Amino acid sequence: MFFPSKPYIDQVVPYEPGRPIEEVQRELGIRHLVKLASNENPLGVSPKARRALQKLLPNLHYYPESTAPELLKALAKYHGVSGKQIILGNGSNEIIEFLCRALLSEGDEVVSGECSFLVYPLITQICGGRFRVSPMKDFAYDLDALGRLINAKTRLVFIANPNNPTGTYVTQQVLARFLSKVGEEVIVCLDEAYADFADAKDYPRGLNYLKQGAGNVIVLRTFSKSHGLAGLRIGYGIGSERLIQYLQKVRQPFNVNAAAQVAARAALEDKAYLRRAQKLVKQGRMFLYKGFDRLGLKYVRSQANFVLVDLGTDSKPVVDGLLKKGLIVRGVKAYNLPTFIRVSIGLPAQNTQFIKMLDLILRRTKGES
Ligand SMILES: Cc1ncc(COP(=O)(O)O)c(C=O)c1O
C-alpha cells in the first residue's frame, strides 16, 4: 500500500519499556513476579490517593475538567509558583512531546547526553528534529561538551537530573555555569522525574533558576515515581508563563484523565507516603551497593530509585535467568551498555531476593557451580 510516509518517522525504532508483569506471566506462566524494571514505587498507591480514587468512581461517566484547576492550584501552592506557570501532561513524557511539537521545525536540533532517557531522541525524531548528543563523563552529563554542540539551529536541551539510566546528577555549580552561558532562545528542559530521591548537598533544584528569572528553563516533574501513580499517567512542567501558555496551545483537551487529577491531588498531600518512599530508596540504594560490593561488581552511585550495575558479562542471559526466577530487571543494551543492567529499588525483601538470585545466576553463567 502506498501512502506518503515521512522518512524520519519510517526510521523510528520504537521505545521498549520494561516488561509488564502481565506479559511475563502470560509468556512464562510464573505467578509471582517482582518488577524492578521501570523505576516504579514498590509501596503501591498512597492511601490518600486510593481513597480519592474510590470517591471518584461513580462520576467516571463525566469528562474531567480539561484544565484541572484544583490540581493546578495545589501544585502552584506546593511549588510556590503561579498556576499559569504549570502545564499538566499524560505522564511527563507528554510534556517532552509538547516541547518538541511546539518548538521544532524539520531540521532543528535538540541536544542531550549520550546515555540518557531514550524518549528524548524518539520524540525529537518523530517531530523531524535532529538529535545530537555529547559523550558522558563517568556516566554523568558533561555540560561543557554538551554546550559545545549548541548552535544556531539548537532549540532545546534535555538534561535529566538525576539521569536515567545512570542515576548520576549534575551539580549546582556546573548547572549554574551552563545556564549562564546558554542563550535565552534555547529552551533548557531540566527533567526532574527522580528529584524527590536526590539527597546530595549540591543537587540543584531547577525551580530555583526559574524563580531567579531564567525564562528559558522548564522543569519536568512526575507522579509516576515518588508519588506511586505510574499507571495513571500524570506529570507536569513548570516554566515561565510565556513558555507554558505557548505549550498549552498544543495540549489536547482532557489529556489528563479524571482519576489522575484526583489521585495526584491526594498524593501531593500524602507527605507521610513520600517520606516512606524516600527512606526506602535511600536504604535500598545502600543495600544494593553492599550487595554489589560483595559480588565484586562495579556500579554507579545513584541519586535516583534505581542503580546501574556492570555485570562484566553479556547482560542478556542474566536478565533472562532473573526473569525465570520471577524478577524483571532492565537490560540497557539500547543505551549502548551491553554488560549492564538497571535495577529499580524494591521493598527490602525484594532487594534481598534480587541480590541472592543475581549471585546464583552469575555463578552459573560464569560456570562456577
Ligand atoms: C528521566 C525520565 N523522564 C521522564 C520519565 C517519564 O515519566 P512519566 O511519563 O511516567 O511521567 C521517565 C520515566 O521513566 C524518566 O526516567
Find the CATH number of the domain harbouring 293. Answer: 3.90.1150.10
CA of 292 to the centre of ligand 1 (A): 26
Total number of domains in the chain: 2
- Contact 89 CB / ligand 1 (< 6 Å): no
Same domain, residue pair 340 and 198: no
- Contact 39 CB / ligand 1 (< 6 Å): yes
C-alpha cell at 310: 556492570
127 part of a folded domain: yes
**HSE (CB half, 13 Å, CA atoms) of 280?**
26
How far is the C-alpha of 51 from the C-alpha of 266, rounded, in Å?
8
Residue written as grid cell 530555583: 208
Residue nearest to atom 3 of ligand 1 (CA): 193
146 part of a folded domain: yes
196 part of a folded domain: yes
Distances in whole angstroms, Cα of residue 16 to Cα of each of 122, 162, 194: 11, 21, 20
How far is the C-alpha of 285 from the C-alpha of 279, rounded, in Å?
10
- Where does a domain end: 211, 242, 270? 270
Same domain, residue pair 281 and 144: no
Express each pLDDT in 85-133 by its tens digit: 999 999 999 999 999 999 999 999 999 999 999 999 999 999 999 999 9
Residue 366: φ, ψ to 5°:
-90, 5
Same domain, residue pair 82 and 206: yes
Cα Rg, the chain, nearest whole Å: 21
How far is the C-alpha of 127 from the C-alpha of 107, rounded, in Å?
9
- Contact 165 CB / ligand 1 (< 6 Å): no
Same domain, residue pair 55 and 77: yes
261 part of a folded domain: yes
Would you say 157 and 188 are in contact if contact means Cβ atoms under 8 Å apart?
Answer: yes
2 part of a folded domain: no
Which helix H or strand E contains 131, and what residues bound it?
Answer: strand 130-134
Q: Which domain holds residue 351?
A: 7-44+272-365
How far is the C-alpha of 193 from the C-alpha of 356, rounded, in Å?
29
Express each pLDDT in 73-87 by its tens digit: 999 999 999 999 999
90 part of a folded domain: yes
Same domain, residue pair 214 and 305: no
- Where does a domain end: 235, 270, 305? 270
Q: Which atom of ligand 1 is nearest to the CA of 93?
A: 9
Same domain, residue pair 152 and 206: yes
Instruction: Identify the DSSP state of 364.
Output: H
pLDDT at 369 over 70: no
324 part of a folded domain: yes
Distances in whole angstroms, Cα of residue 358 to Cα of each of 23, 27, 169, 236: 22, 21, 27, 36
CA of 2 to the centre of ligand 1 (A): 35
How far is the C-alpha of 152 from the C-alpha of 129, rounded, in Å?
14
Which helix H or strand E contains 156, and what residues bound it?
Answer: strand 154-160
Would the pTM of this model clear 0.75, i.e. be above it? yes
Same domain, residue pair 203 and 335: no
How far is the C-alpha of 284 from the C-alpha of 7, rounded, in Å?
45
Same domain, residue pair 17 and 71: no
CA of 1 to the centre of ligand 1 (A): 36
Q: What is the CATH number of the domain that holds 202?
A: 3.40.640.10
Distances in whole angstroms, Cα of residue 135 to Cα of each of 138, 141, 143, 169: 10, 7, 10, 15
Express each pLDDT in 43-61 by its tens digit: 999 999 999 999 999 999 9
CA 364 to chain CA centroid, Å, is 33
Would you say 267 and 228 are in contact if contact means Cβ atoms under 8 Å apart?
Answer: yes
How far is the C-alpha of 202 from the C-alpha of 199, rounded, in Å?
9
pLDDT band of residue 245 (cuts 50, 70, 90) is: very high
Same domain, residue pair 33 and 136: no
Express each pLDDT in 307-322 by its tens digit: 999 999 999 999 999 9
Same domain, residue pair 69 and 164: yes
- Where does a domain end: 270, 294, 324? 270
pLDDT at 351 over 60: yes
- At 22 the pLDDT is 86
1 part of a folded domain: no
Same domain, residue pair 72 and 184: yes
* Long-range CB contacts (within 8 A, 24+) of 18-25: 18/328, 18/330, 19/323, 19/328, 21/328, 24/323, 24/328
- Contact 168 CB / ligand 1 (< 6 Å): no
Express each pLDDT in 159-193 by its tens digit: 999 999 999 999 999 999 999 999 999 999 999 99
Residue nearest to atom 16 of ligand 1 (CA): 164
- At 18 the pLDDT is 81
How far is the C-alpha of 123 from the C-alpha of 254, rounded, in Å?
21
How far is the C-alpha of 320 from the C-alpha of 302, rounded, in Å?
24
Same domain, residue pair 264 and 353: no
Contacts of 52 (CB under 8 A, 6+ apart): 262, 263, 265, 266
CA of 222 to the centre of ligand 1 (A): 7
How far is the C-alpha of 114 from the C-alpha of 162, rounded, in Å?
14
